[in-house]
């Protein structure tokens, strides 16, 4: 990991994540183009943006899955990822999936405690294939949180869930975040989801963080909240949809 400190460009020392001048090229195209980003410890940040804007690429870089980069990136050593697909090892029982990669022998009690947190203790000893989509996603969350990460990266974790399950999963993530107090970067295409969960919503465009809004609203939040509705219209406007709503807001 890069550690250089260069005057103005230096990394914020006590941030959980600090990114300076990050560039990632695919061929000639810079999907991420001199991007700066700080995430404070314990902060819940949502990252939105149009399809193909590079938000998932950014997450993959923070997860140390993509090293073809220029610039400075610092992330916590203890970090975990939950992907859009649960990516459980199909040949391991659920509880073994949860503690996979932890030092020492597989600790079933630790796995069960983590599964209990996401309401899945009764599924500890089954194959992943029998889990429903929502259950598999919760197991994947348990696997991420059992590592007690300082940074949790969530890559559209609710994208493949049905509407009802998604709402429950969002509530769960909110609760887990408050209990574990880790920084979260949630990549999503759902503006409402971002506003319901995050302290700060970032919008990525043309390879940088183009816009940013703070969501100063106590939790739990409701979609009907007029303050959130205003932010929503603003974000959708930046995304290039719902222009009329923005115009009305401004009027």
Partner 1 sequence: MSTALDLPSRQATARSAVPPALPENPRIARQRIQPASAERRGVPRGIRRMAGPVLLVGIWHLLSVTGTLPSEVLAGPGTVLSSAAKLWGTGELPDAMVASLRRALSGLAIGGSIGVALAVFSGLFRLGEDLIDSTMQMLRTVPNVALIPLLIIWFGIGEEPKIALIALATAFPLYLNVYAGIRNVDQTLVEAGRTLGLSRAAMIRNVILPGALPSALVGLRYSLGISWLALVFGEQVNATEGIGYLMSNAREFFQTDVIVVCLVVYALLGLAVDFIVRLLEKVLLAWRPAFTGA
- Residues forming contacts to partner 1 in the complex (CB under 8 A) are 63-65, 79-81, 83, 85, 87, 89-92, 100-101, 127-129, 143, 147
- The residues that bridge with 18 in the sheet, in sequence order, are 38, 74
Nearest Cα neighbor of 185 from 67, 29, 16, 34 is: 16
| Between 35 and 151, CB nearer to partner 1 | 151
Min. distance of Cβ 249 from partner 1 in angstroms? 40
Find the radius of gyration of the CA atoms of the chain: 19
| Between 96 and 221, CB nearer to partner 1 | 96
Cβ neighbors of 204 (< 8 A, separation 6 or more) are: 47, 48, 49, 53, 54, 55, 58, 210
Cβ neighbors of 149 (< 8 A, separation 6 or more) are: 76, 78, 79, 80, 180, 182
| Between 73 and 228, CB nearer to partner 1 | 73
Min. distance of Cβ 89 from partner 1 in angstroms? 6
Min. distance of Cβ 173 from partner 1 in angstroms? 17
Torsion, CA 172, CA 197, CA 205, CA 34, rounded to 10? -90
Min. distance of Cβ 58 from partner 1 in angstroms? 15
Min. distance of Cβ 47 from partner 1 in angstroms? 18
Min. distance of Cβ 146 from partner 1 in angstroms? 10
- Give 78's DSSP letter: S
| Between 83 and 158, CB nearer to partner 1 | 83
Query: How many other β-carbons are positioned within 10 Å of the β-carbon of residue 37?
Result: 21
| Between 63 and 229, CB nearer to partner 1 | 63
Distance, first Cα to last Cα, the chain: 48
Q: How far is CA 205 from CA 2, 73, 183, in A?
A: 25, 19, 23
| Between 78 and 219, CB nearer to partner 1 | 78
């Amino acid at each position: 990991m890069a550690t250089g400190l260069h005057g103005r460009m230096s990394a914020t020392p006590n941030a959980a994540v600090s990114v300076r001048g990050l560039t990632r090229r695919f061929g000639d195209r810079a999907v991420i183009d001199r991007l700066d980003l700080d995430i404070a410890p314990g902060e819940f940040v949502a990252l939105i943006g149009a399809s193909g804007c590079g938000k998932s690429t950014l997450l993959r870089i923070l997860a140390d899955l993509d090293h073809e980069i220029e610039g400075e990136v610092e992330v916590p050593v203890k970090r975990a990822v939950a992907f859009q697909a649960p990516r459980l090892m199909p040949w391991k029982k659920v509880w073994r999936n949860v503690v996979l990669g932890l030092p020492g022998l597989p600790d079933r009690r630790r796995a069960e405690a983590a599964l209990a947190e996401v309401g899945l203790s009764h599924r500890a000893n089954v194959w992943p294939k029998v889990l429903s989509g929502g259950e598999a996603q919760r197991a994947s969350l348990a696997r991420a949180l059992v590592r007690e990460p300082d940074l949790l990266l969530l890559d559209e974790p609710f994208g493949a869930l049905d509407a009802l399950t998604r709402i429950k999963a969002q509530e769960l993530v909110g609760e887990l975040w408050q209990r574990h107090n880790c920084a979260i970067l949630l990549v999503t295409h759902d503006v409402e989801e971002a506003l319901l969960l995050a302290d700060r919503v970032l919008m990525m465009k043309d390879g940088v963080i183009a816009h940013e809004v703070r969501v100063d609203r106590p939790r739990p939040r409701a979609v009907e909240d007029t303050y959130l509705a205003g932010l929503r219209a603003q974000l959708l406007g930046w995304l290039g949809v719902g222009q009329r709503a923005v115009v009305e807001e401004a009027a």
